[in-house]
Amino acid sequence: MLYGSILYNFWGALLAFSTYFFLNFMGPGAPLAIIIKSFVAAVIGFIVTYVIRFLISYVLYTPEKEEEVEEEIEEAAIPSSATAEEFAEENPEEVAKAVKTMMNDDQMAS
């Protein structure tokens, strides 16, 4: 999960563009070159803001507690009973065979 949104990236790009532009617009360079370089600075600012957001999310990441992880592992190890929807997706012949086998097992256990 990244903290913030892409809106922050655009704000970073706008800040980089504006900063570069206003520091160089009264300089001896050609206006078109200054604008092009300002757009390059905006792209770099966009990418740098993304990296900063990634680092912030990495630093603030809190892993799950070990107890929760152990509970999830135990739940995954216990097979759940099949639902009617799962049987409906299977071949009817296989379902009938499974039901007959289960009924025979129940009769033998009784």
pTM: predicted TM-score of the whole model, two decimal places: 0.53
Residues whose CB is less than 8 angstroms from the CB of residue 4 and which lie 6 or more positions away in sequence, other chains included? 53, 56
Q: How many CA atoms lie within 13 A of 64 on its CB side?
A: 8
Q: Compute how many other C-beta atoms are within 10 angstroms of the C-beta atom of residue 61.
A: 9
The predicted-structure confidence for 8-31, as pLDDT tens digits, reads as follows 999 999 999 999 999 998 888 898
One digit per residue, pLDDT tens: the chain, 110 residues?
456 788 999 999 999 999 999 999 888 889 899 999 999 999 999 999 999 998 988 888 877 666 565 666 666 555 555 565 665 566 778 878 888 888 888 777 76
**What does the alpha-carbon distance between residue 42 and residue 73 come to, in Å, rounded to a whole number?**
46
Comparing CA positions, the residue from 48, 41, 60, 61 lying closest to residue 8 is 48
CB 24 within 8 Å of CB 34: yes
